[in-house]
Amino acid sequence: MWTGIPLFPETASTMASRVDALYLFLLGVAGFFSLLIAGLIVFYAVRYRRQSPRSVGATIHGSVTLELTWTIIPFLITMVIFIWGASVFFAMARPPDDTLDIYVVGKQWMWKFQHLDGQREINELHVPLGRPTKLIMTSEDVIHDVFVPAFRVKADVLPGRYTNIWFQPTKAGRYHLFCAEYCGTRHSGMIGEVVVMEPTEYQAWLSGGPEGSLAENGAKLFESLACNTCHRPDAQGRGPTLDGLFGKMVKLQSGETITADEAYVRESILNPSAKITAGYQPIMPTFQGLVTEEQLLELIEYVKSLQATPVAAR
Amino acid sequence: MSSTVLSPPRHYLNDGYGVKSWLLTRDHKRIALLYLAGVTFFFFVGGAMAVLIRLELATPPGDLVSDETYNKLFTMHGVMMVFFFLIPAIPAVIGNFLVPIMIGAKDLALPKINLLSWYIYMVGGLFTLYALIAGGVDTGWTFYAPFSTASSTTNVIPTALGIFITGFSSILTGLNFIVTIHRMRAPGMTWFRMPLFLWSIYATSLINVLGTPVIAITILLVAAERLFHFGFFNPALGGDPVLFQHLFWFYSHPAVYIMVLPAMGVISELVAAGCRKPVFGYTFVAFASLAIAVVGFLVWGHHMFVAGESVYAALIFSILSFIVAVPSAVKVFNWTATMYQGAVSWETPMLYAYGFIGLFTIGGLTGLFLAAIGIDVHVTDTYFVIAHFHYIMVGGTIMGYLGGLHFWWPKMTGRLYNEGMAKVSAVIIFVGFNLTFFPQFILGYLGMPRRYHAYPPEFQVLNVLSSAGASILGIGYLIPMIYLMWSLRYGRLAGSNPWGAVGLEWTTTSPPPTENFETTPVVTWEAYDYGSTVEGHVA
């Protein structure tokens, strides 16, 4: 068999085989109905070919039974596909709890990756084999999109908010990473590779990184921006304490209650008056333009680290 | 001579000569021909860009044109084809010609507005063409913010303004058709005696009137953000980029039905006449058009499954997208069933109908892949989507348009084209189309993103197949230009009813007189009444 034309992308994540299974089912459905319609058209066109220039067809107006049949059967089939497709999507949308988190910043026209240990890379993303990995992504300018065909995952990367995708690699190797949302002149150059490594190799690769983890860098920044004068661990400051904050519910002055997630921390740094914690004054200045997207991620990671054993601000 | 009998001394084409008699005409048939000239021009402009795109993609590196040029090419290809060919083509050309005749009226309800629509359309089109010549635009036809409002340095505003202007032409034409169908039907022409083409045009007009204002507003918001930095969409100004996508797709998904519903209407006419039989399940086909128009307004979010909308919004848009597929399937089954025990023709219009049903079926079924969110995440923004919507828009709309043009050409011009050449070109178009777009489904599942100027080498074989198909398709589109023009002078006279079809348009002469009918017809028969009144209609 000549295999010059590839038909399937590589299958390198737990999600890939689930997507492929649904895809094959749909190919079966689509193939069946395409052949049915094409077969009927060819058969009727030959069988009932016009015999003389004046002949007319039989007077048949329709059949309610048939109409109901070919309304209800396709409807039921589509509902099966809907439920199946939705269940795959749920799995894509709900990362497991113990993911390895990596931050992604897209900009025209490159990808920047920041690992928690402080490793940074551009257009190349190293991940360990077998470990559920979550990418927390934002953009510095326009909309981009992280797409790894071998993992069958994709999500837009938006300026001003965080989106994420997760995957669990099942095969070591190098895979394409594409920007899939048109982003300007060098859109097709905004590509990279995901390198899936054996966990031991991954550890070795990580240890070759620079000093200082993401959270440690965030702690330094927290001090140099003088955040620590108001946000103190003892809850005596002018701003709310951040210890144990991340992931918890926060009661706001407006009466709303929201979850302290990445988007909330980001907004509170850039636009502090948007969501005021109940019991505090709106006195915090904005840090818009003073911190980069990457520094924001370091600060977020620092806030995340203030859970059970806070990293001391040195 | 029989030709003097068949061709009356006075008809709409010789009722006045000279440029002024055309540019100031209020005759819906002449305005249809003005639109024919317009849409054909823009089709070949858009087509020329497609040729360059496919040439560039024949090799993996970006070597024929620069990335900047490539981005402008696919943008202007999309803009030209969507807004200046696909949306107006069938309603404004075939619909304009046929709506009054099919209901037994002398003209549309608002003939001056009809002419105004054409002028608005041409001004919008030429404005966009100016934007192209003056440097082009590189945002993609989707104009996603904040790229379009803050990043692109190209002619975004002139292009958008051209689309904005042309939108008013859609609205006015839609309004004109709605009023005409409500108010101008001949005695006895009840709603359920109308040809199904009119039901499709009616449903399309509703979408045009209700949907087009939304894209117009969206365009104004983009212009305001670009010019005055109002923060609607750009997060740096306090806006929301996803809001743009909601507004854009709220119009642009229904716009797909603006493009394909009229083609469905044409196919109903071709199948009935091609089989000399009533369309199977008339009322189901008629209401399927309305169901598509209504539900089609509620599915726009399926363009945004990976764009940052919530999981629950995605689920609702997914299930509604599956539901809107059902009436389309109903139509396909009904057309196929119409052939059963028909007197089935193999003439050119019917070949296009076969082609339409086959290609629309594949286009519709691949839509199910995209409605299934789990698969959509993988294939959205890839060539799978490109292939899918070209099967709907090219395989559907253009097949319907060309089929309709061949079917009613003898009525419009009074002449018959060369049937042999027409059949050959229909087959060339079908083969070329499939060779162009089928490989793109595979490319998409492999992961080739759309709007890529350069691509990894493993995708080359499929891209070469696609480019080869495009060259065949291009030839297929050029041949009708030749034999249709040729027929205007040398074609045999058509007579009033060359297909032996029923329907009011076949009871009047070819070409029809300016007032369409000598005396206002009184309709006493159902649509597609081949069984009982055939002797009264076949010339």
CATH at residue A232 = 1.10.760.10
Residue B11 lies in a domain: no
Pick from B23, B90, B80, B138: nearest CA to B259:
B90
Domain boundary among A162, A195, A211: A211
Contact criterion met (CB below 8 Å) for A84 and B374: yes
Dist. CA A53–CA B14, nearest whole Å? 31
Domain count, chain A: 2
Phi, psi of B109 (to 5 degrees): -65, -35
Helix, coil or strand: residue A148: strand
Partners of residue B62 in chain A, C-beta under 8 Å: 188
> pTM to 2 decimals?
0.91
The tokens for B27 are 């005759």
pLDDT of residue B238: 87
Q: Which residues of chain A have pLDDT under 50?
A: 1, 310-314
pLDDT of residue B372: 96
The tokens for B397 are 């709309």
Residue B162 lies in a domain: yes
Domain boundary among A156, A180, A211: A211
Residue by residue, DSSP assigns B53-81 as: HHHHTTSSS--SS-HHHHHHHHHHHHHII
Q: Do B306 and A89 touch (CB under 8 A)?
A: no
Residue A2 lies in a domain: no
pLDDT of residue A208: 76
Pick from B422, B399, B407, B402: nearest CA to B494:
B407
pLDDT of residue A308: 57
pLDDT of residue B535: 44
CATH at residue A182 = 2.60.40.420
Q: Do A156 and B534 touch (CB under 8 A)?
A: no
The radius of gyration of chain B's CA atoms, rounded to the nearest angstrom, is 23
The tokens for B389 are 């919507």
Domain boundary among A177, A211, A245: A211
Q: Are residues A14 and A134 in the same domain?
A: yes
The radius of gyration of chain A's CA atoms, rounded to the nearest angstrom, is 27
CB nearest to B319's CB, from A30, A82, A108: A82
In terms of residue numbers, what domain contains A287?
A: 214-305
A/B interface, count of CB pairs below 8 Å: 293
The tokens for B106 are 């002398």
The tokens for B478 are 């050029």
Q: Which residues contact A110 (CB under 8 A, 6 or more apart)?
A: A122, A123, A190
Domain count, chain B: 1
Residue A43 lies in a domain: no
Partners of residue B366 in chain A, C-beta under 8 Å: 30
pLDDT of residue A47: 95
With b meaning 16 or more CB within 10 Å and e meaning fewer, what string describes A186-209? bbbbbbbebbbbeeeebeebbeee
Place of tokens 């009525």: B411
Place of tokens 């982003």: A183
Q: Are residues A199 and A260 in the same domain?
A: no
Residue by residue, DSSP assigns B381-405 as: TBHHHHHHHHHHIIIIIIHHHHHHH
Dist. CA B322–CA A81, nearest whole Å? 9
Partners of residue A62 in chain B, C-beta under 8 Å: 280-284, 334
pLDDT of residue A281: 86
Q: Are residues A87 and A193 in the same domain?
A: yes
Residue A46 lies in a domain: no
Pick from B285, B414, B422, B416: nearest CA to B349:
B422
Residue A249 lies in a domain: yes
Q: Which residue does chain A place closest to B350, by CA atoms?
A: A45
Q: Which residue does chain A place closest to B140, by CA atoms?
A: A182
pLDDT of residue B473: 96
Average pLDDT over chain B, rounded to an integer: 93
Q: How many CA atoms, within 13 angstroms, populate the side-chain half-sphere of residue B271?
A: 34
Query: In a structure prediction context, what are the per-residue pLDDT tens digits for chain B, which is 539 residues long?
Result: 344 455 456 899 988 889 999 999 999 999 999 999 999 999 999 999 999 999 999 999 999 999 999 999 999 999 999 999 999 999 999 999 999 999 999 999 999 999 999 999 999 999 999 998 899 999 999 999 999 999 998 999 999 999 999 999 999 999 999 999 999 999 999 999 999 999 999 999 999 999 999 999 999 999 999 999 999 999 989 899 999 999 999 999 999 999 999 999 999 999 999 999 999 999 999 999 999 999 999 999 999 999 988 899 999 999 999 999 999 999 999 999 999 999 999 999 999 999 999 999 999 999 999 999 999 999 999 999 999 999 999 999 999 999 999 999 999 999 999 999 999 999 999 999 999 999 999 999 999 999 999 999 999 999 999 999 999 999 999 999 999 999 999 999 999 999 999 999 999 999 999 999 989 999 999 999 988 654 444 43
Residue A59 lies in a domain: no
CATH at residue B218 = 1.20.210.10
Q: Are residues A231 and A201 in the same domain?
A: no
Residue A242 lies in a domain: yes
Q: Are residues A83 and A178 in the same domain?
A: yes
Q: Are residues A125 and A177 in the same domain?
A: yes
Q: Which residues contact B59 (CB under 8 A, 6 or more apart)?
A: B460
pLDDT of residue A3: 54
Q: Are residues A295 and A206 in the same domain?
A: no
Q: Are residues A87 and A139 in the same domain?
A: yes
In terms of residue numbers, what domain contains B363?
A: 23-537
Contact criterion met (CB below 8 Å) for A165 and A154: yes
Residue A269 lies in a domain: yes
Place of tokens 């084409």: B13
pLDDT of residue B9: 67
Q: Which residue does chain A place closest to B364, by CA atoms?
A: A30
CB nearest to B276's CB, from A29, A45, A56: A56
Dist. CA A177–CA A135, nearest whole Å? 13
Prior bond to B199 cis, omega within 30?
A: no
Partners of residue A188 in chain B, C-beta under 8 Å: 62, 67, 449, 451-455
**H or E segment and range at residue B537:** helix B530-537
* Long-range pairs, B46-50, Cβ under 8 A, ≥24: B46/B76, B46/B77, B46/B80, B46/B81, B46/B84, B46/B85, B47/B474, B47/B477, B49/B73, B49/B74, B49/B76, B49/B77, B49/B80, B50/B77, B50/B470, B50/B474
The tokens for B29 are 């048939």
- pLDDT tens-digit series, residues A16-54: 999 999 999 999 999 999 999 999 999 999 999 999 888
Residue B9 lies in a domain: no
Helix then strand then coil, in percent of chain A rounded to 5, is 40, 20, 40
Pick from B83, B226, B260: nearest CA to B165:
B83
